[in-house]
Structure 1
Amino acid sequence: MTVSPLIWGITIVAIVALLAFDYFFHIRKAHVPTLREAAIWSSIYVGLAILFGILVWVFGGPTMGSEYFAGYITEKALSVDNLFVFLIIIASFRVPREDQQKVLLFGIVFSLIARTGFIFLGAALINSFAWVFYIFGLILLITAGNLLKPGAHNQEQTDNVMVRLAKKYFHTTDHYDGDKLFTMHEGKKALTPMLLVMLAIGGTDILFALDSIPAIFGLTQNVYIVFTATAFSLMGLRQLYFLIDGLLDRLIYLSYGLAAILAFIGVKLVLHALHENNLPFINGGEPVPVVEISTALSLSVIIGILLVTVVASLLSKAGKAQNAINNARRHAIDYLDLDYTADAAERERIYTLLTREEAQILEMDPKYRNKAKDVDKIREQIAEAHRQHKEYLGR
């Protein structure tokens, strides 16, 4: 089905309008969203994505509809994985909780712009060179392998090229000035950490696009479907961050699930490349008669892998232990350095979470509790947080 310029225009205007609404009605005034607010708006954005998919199915047909849903689910799963890195970046830059929404919205907008560029570049390459499918397939297989390595999400992501260049060539400060990008420091205009964290997220967004765009092109070559599935997967990511903040570490098998999905799509791409083959050193430049994987099968495999991954993670005792320990570590560190936020209620919020997680840890089987990395250091940080809180109450 060919999509008319009018439909393209309406779609782009609707997406821009949603982003503008998000900024002016939720982001402009800095605040910490409640769990209820995050849940409601996450549901609304998922509902809009599903409604759009139904319209595509009705007006574009079952093939186009199933391609959209397969692409949307895959991209949504990858975007959840991206939240791990966003969490690390935001934590390492000590972004005030009330300003985290603005950082996340910037990341979403930048990601959408970067991925749109890659989408049209990828479409142009595919239309001109069928062998690009081999490269896309290889990228996904390599990415799948990298996801299986220990420490797939680590703090090295925060020290990317854009941040290093900014710190090297511009005057920067370690202190926030509200949500300003620039401030006066030592009598000179300086970049604040707010701008640096946006550069860090922008840089990682480019790397994410290199993985996600080949993945969705492995499910459909319809540029409109690729664009809309990608856009809707990013919409609501900000609300999802606050909704599942603190629970991300619970999904201990997510990397394995995503690796399986990307490997599956990578194989699908290679098979498609063989079917369309025109490289002279493969089968004399003639197409290779291979089995091609249908969109319906792809959708079933993707949903099945995600269901198994999520259920296994949630039922895992090791997952519960890792979640509580990692959150306790994070909240102990936050409590010991509360200069990064102006929110007076933040102290009690963090301390309440810390005591709740400490209680969960004490109820665990010691074999899970003692497997944590730097367990003695975590205990010291928690003890120091208790000491400082007692001192604070005694003032």
Structure 2
Amino acid sequence: MSVSPLVWTITIVVILALLAFDYFFHIRKAHVPTLREAAVWSSIYVGAAVLFGVVLLVFGGSTMGGEYFAGFITEKALSVDNLFVFLVIMASFRVPREDQQKVLLFGIVFALIARSAFIFAGVALINAFSWVFYLFGLILLITAGNLLKGEDSGDEEADNFVIRLARKFLRTSEHYDGDRLFTVENGKRVLTPMLLVMVAIGGTDLLFALDSIPAIFGLTQNAYVVFTATAFSLMGLRQLFFLLDGLLDRLIYLSYGLAAILAFIGVKLVLHALHENNLPFINGGEHVQVFEITTGLSLTVIIGVLLVTVIASLFSKAGKAHAAVNNARRHAESYLDLEYTADATERERVYRELLDEEKDILEMDKKYRDKVKDIDAIRAKVAEAHARHADFLAR
């Protein structure tokens, strides 16, 4: 189904309006969103995405609607995995909690712009060279293999090539000045670390696009479906960050589920490339008769793998212990970091959450909590937080 320029224009205007509403009514005034606020707005964005999919089913047909839902679910799952890296970046740069929303919104806007460019470039390549499906399939299979290595991104610092260049050539201050990008230091106008954080988030989004865009092209080649599924998967990501913050560590098998999905789509792309083959060194440049994976089968596999992955993670005793201990570590680090927030209420909330997390940890089987990586260092950090709080009360 072809989409008219008018429909494209209306869709883009609606997306831009949602982003503007997000900024002016929620982010412009720095604050830490409550769990209820994050849950309500996450539900609204997911509801809008589902409603849009229903509209596509009605007006575009079952194939177009099915491709959209398969793409949306896949991109949303990849976005949740990306939140792990966002946590690392903002922890590395010690972004004040109340200013993290603005950083996330910038990341979403940058991702929309960058991925839109990738999408239209991908469509042009596919239309001109059908062998690109081989390349996309290979990228996804390699990405799936890297996910299966089980590397812990939580141990990595947010320090890539882009950041090193920014640190070298941009004069930045050591401390934040609210959510401002510029401040005055020693009588000179300098950049704040907030800009570096945004550069880090933006640079990371570019890397994410290298696997997310080929993944969705493995499900559909309709540019409108690819764009809207990607856009709606990113919308609400800011609220989802605050809703899942503290629960992300619980999804210990998510990377394996995503690896399975990406490998499945990679195989689907290779099969499609063989079916459309025109490379002279493969079957003499003729099409290869292979089994083609339908949209319905793709949707079933994606939903099934994600359900198994999430359920297994949530019911895993090791997952519960891993999440609880790492949450306690984060709460302790946040409490000890005087630059984390200037809000006394927020600091007290963090300490109460640390106490609640410790209570839950003590009720868990010792063999699971002792297996958590760097458990001794985490215990020392928690003890330091308690000592700091005791000193504060003694004043």
User: What is the aligned partner in structure 1 of residue 189 from structure 2?
Assistant: 189
1:63 aligns with 2:63: yes
Give the Cα separation in 2 of the matches to 1:79 and 1:374. Answer: 27
**C-alpha separation between the residues in 2 aligned to 1:82 and 1:211?**
11
Alignment length, in residue pairs? 395
Say which SS state the counterpart of residue 189 (structure 2) adopts. strand
1:219 is aligned to 219
The answer on whether the counterparts of 2:137 and 2:214 sit within 8 Å (CA) in structure 1 is: yes
Tell me if structure 1 keeps the 8 A contact 2:150–2:255. no
Deviation at 1:232, TM superposition (A): 0.3
Compare 67-76 and 91-100 and name the one that shifted more: 91-100
Q: Displacement, 1:329?
A: 1.0
- Give the secondary structure class of the aligned counterpart of 2:63: helix
SS, match of residue 339 in structure 2 = helix
Q: What is the DSSP-based 3-state SS (H/G/I as helix, E as strand, rest coil) of the residue aligned with 2:6?
A: helix
- What one-letter code is carried by the residue in structure 1 that aligns with 2:137? G
Shift of 1:185: 2.1
Q: Which residue of 2 aligns with 1:199?
A: 199
Please tell me whether residue 294 in structure 1 is matched to residue 258 in structure 2: no
Counterpart of 1:241 in structure 2 is: 241
Q: Report the counterpart of residue 285 of structure 2 in structure 1.
A: 285
Q: Which digits, 9 at most, give the CA deviation of each residue in 1:329-380, with x for residues without a partner?
A: 1111111112232111122111111111111221121111111222221111
Matched residue, 1:317: 317
Residue of structure 1 in register with 2:114 after alignment = 114
> How far off its partner does 1:321 sit?
0.2
Query: Do 2:94 and 2:339's aligned partners in 1 also have CA atoms closer than 8 Å?
Result: no
Which consecutive residues of structure 1, in runs of 5 or more, have no partner in the other structure? none
Gaps of 5+ in 2: none
Segment of structure 1 superposing worse, 51-60 or 351-360:
351-360
- Find the aligned partners of 1:329 and 1:47 in 2 and give their Cα distance: 34
C-alpha spacing 1:243/1:67, structure 2 compared with 1 (3 Å): same
What are the Cα deviations for residues 151-195 of structure 1, in whole angstroms up to 9, with x where unaligned? 242453611222111110121122000100111223322221111
In structure 1, give the amino acid aligned to 2:318: A
Does the residue aligned with 1:373 lie in a helix, a strand or coil? coil
Find the counterpart in structure 2 of residue 105 from structure 1.
Answer: 105
CA contact (8 A) 1:89 1:155 kept: no
Determine the C-alpha separation between the residues in 2 that align with 1:88 and 1:240: 16
Report the equivalent of 2:260: 260
Report the equivalent of 2:94.
Answer: 94
2:152 & 2:67 partners in 1: Cα distance?
A: 29
**Alpha-carbon distance in structure 1 between the residues aligned to 2:11 and 2:337:** 44
Deviations 1:93-123 (A, max 9, x none): 1111111110000000000111000000000
Q: Which residue of 2 aligns with 1:366?
A: 366
Q: CA RMSD for the aligned pairs?
A: 1.0
Q: Which amino acid aligns with 1:356?
A: D
8 Å CA contact 1:338, 1:347 repeated in 2: no
Query: Structure 2 CA distance, aligned partners of 1:378 and 1:97?
Result: 21
- Counterparts of 1:77 and 1:195 in 2: how far apart (Å)? 28
Equivalent pairs: percent with the same residue? 77
- State the one-letter code of the partner of 2:329: R
Query: 1:157·1:204 contact (CA, 8 Å) conserved in 2?
Result: no
TM-score after normalising by structure 1: 0.98
SS for the counterpart of 1:30 is: coil
- Work out whether residues 138 and 266 of structure 1, in 8 Å CA contact, stay in contact via their aligned partners in 2: yes
Give, in angstroms, the shift of residue 311 of structure 1. 0.3
Say if 2:331 and 2:350, in contact at 8 Å, map to a contact too. yes
Higher alpha-carbon deviation: 88-97 or 276-285? 88-97
Q: Does residue 381 of the first structure (1) align with residue 381 of the second (2)?
A: yes
**Any idea what the Cα deviations from partners look like across 1:76-103, whole Å, max 9, x if unmatched?**
0000001111111111111111111100
Structure 1 equivalent of residue 270 of structure 2: 270
On the 8 A contact 1:276/1:288 being kept in 2, the answer is yes
For 2:40, the equivalent position in structure 1 comes to 40
3-state SS, counterpart of residue 190 of structure 1: strand
The superposition leaves residues 215-235 of structure 1 with CA deviations (integer Å, 9 ceiling, x where unpaired) of: 000000000000000000000
Name the CA distance, whole Å, in 2 between partners of 1:381 and 1:9: 52
- Structure 2 length-normalised TM: 0.98
1:391 partnered with 2:391: yes
Distance 1:155 1:196, change over 3 A: farther
Partner of 1:131: 131
Residue 44 (structure 1) shift: 0.5
Q: Which residue of 1 aligns with 2:308?
A: 308
Deviations 1:105-155 (A, max 9, x none): 000000011100000000000000000000000000000001111324245
Q: Is the 8 A contact 1:85 1:157 kept in 2?
A: no
- Other-structure match for 2:229: 229
Partner of 2:12: 12
2:273 partner amino acid: A
- The amino acid that maps onto 1:272 is H
Contact 2:92 2:157 (C-alpha < 8 Å) held by counterparts = no
Which stretch shifts more, 375-384 or 270-279?
Answer: 375-384
CA distance in 2, matches of 1:358, 1:272: 51
Corresponding residue for residue 31 of structure 1: 31
Distance 2:297 2:186 in 1: 61
Native 8 Å contact 2:96 2:339 kept in 1: no
Inter-partner Cα distance in structure 1 for 2:196 and 2:70: 35
Letter in 2 for 1:257: G
